[in-house]
Structure 1
Amino acid sequence: MDIVRCTIKLDKICALHILNSLAIQLRQPSSNALLPRFTMLQPFTQIQKFGQDNLDATVKALGAFSSNSQAIAAEAADFARKSFEQTSSTVEKLLGVQTLDKAVEIQAAYVKGAYDSLVSQTAKMGALYSALATETVKPYEGLLSKATAA
């Protein structure tokens, strides 16, 4: 039992001696003996920072994707509603027509309006999808330069 106590006391004294000598070596700027041990930890902190940066960028990208997807869905629903209203209005007009010439005139106006509407909607949707891609990728732009610089 006394041997165990002696060993524990010796281990505490040895540990304190090692910690004191380590503290003294760290205070001395000329001592570079411990420098490789501490610089070995630096890549791990860089990897941890890079992982945190990636997580932050992913969260921002998902937020941008979500908001832009909602805008695209709202625009598509609005276009579908307007298209349905335009079609039902044209059908009502066609049901009240007395002559073939008037029916052809109404149908031609409907086709022209539907085509113009489709072209403008295509331009809007193209801009929305372009914004979706741009804003979703934007958080990742600086990460590659940070990774290659490190």
Structure 2
Amino acid sequence: MTDTTKMTETVKKVTADASKQVETVFADISERAKVAVAKSQKMAEDVAEFNKGNLEAIVASGKVAAKGMETLGQDAAEFGRKNFESAQAALKSFAAVKTPAEFFKLQSDYVKSAFDTLVAQTSKNTEISMKLAGDVFQPLSNRIAVAAEKIKTAA
């Protein structure tokens, strides 16, 4: 074997070895890129699913709030109607009064009754509002718990 032949063989061997190493490196890079893309896609899907859950919680919360406000509105209308009827009845009673003492007694009874009714209605509205606030926040609270669990799992 001549020196030229040896050198040619050595160059071919070095070139083949280098080609294999480059192919191995690029195959490794390609595999790592595929894994990274798959992880990124999974993460994007998880984020989209989490955001979908958040949106659903907001919608559910809004529905509860709307229903609660509707109930409060109906109660307020009913309270107003009853007060109007009570005022009409009181006016009829005032029209039939014969003495100042009777007038002041009727007025005192009406004011006391109106005040007691107002206190009862205010108490009822406060109770309904507090329950409504809890009910409205519940879907959001559930999502916060899910987020905390995901953070705990990721850590």
Same fold (TM over 0.5): yes
Report the Cα distance in structure 1 between the residues aligned to 2:145 and 2:110, rounded to whole angstroms. 53
Q: Counterpart in 2 of 1:116?
A: 116
Identity of aligned residues (%): 24
TM-score scaled by length of structure 1: 0.74
State the Cα deviation string for residues 37-92 of structure 1 (Å, max 9, x = none). 31122221121011110111111111101110111001000110111111111111
State the Cα deviation string for residues 13-51 of structure 1 (Å, max 9, x = none). xxxxxxxxxxxx9xxxxxx74422311222211210111
More helix, by proportion: 2
User: Which 5+ residue runs of structure 2 have no aligned equivalent?
Assistant: 1-26
Matched residues, number: 120
- Structure 1 residue 146: deviation in Å? 2.1
Report the Cα distance in structure 2 between the residues aligned to 1:58 and 1:40, rounded to whole angstroms. 27
Report the Cα distance in structure 2 between the residues aligned to 1:110 and 1:120, rounded to whole angstroms. 15
Instruction: State which structure, 1 or 2, has the greater radius of gyration over its C-alpha atoms.
Output: 2
Report the Cα distance in structure 2 between the residues aligned to 1:71 and 1:37, rounded to whole angstroms. 51
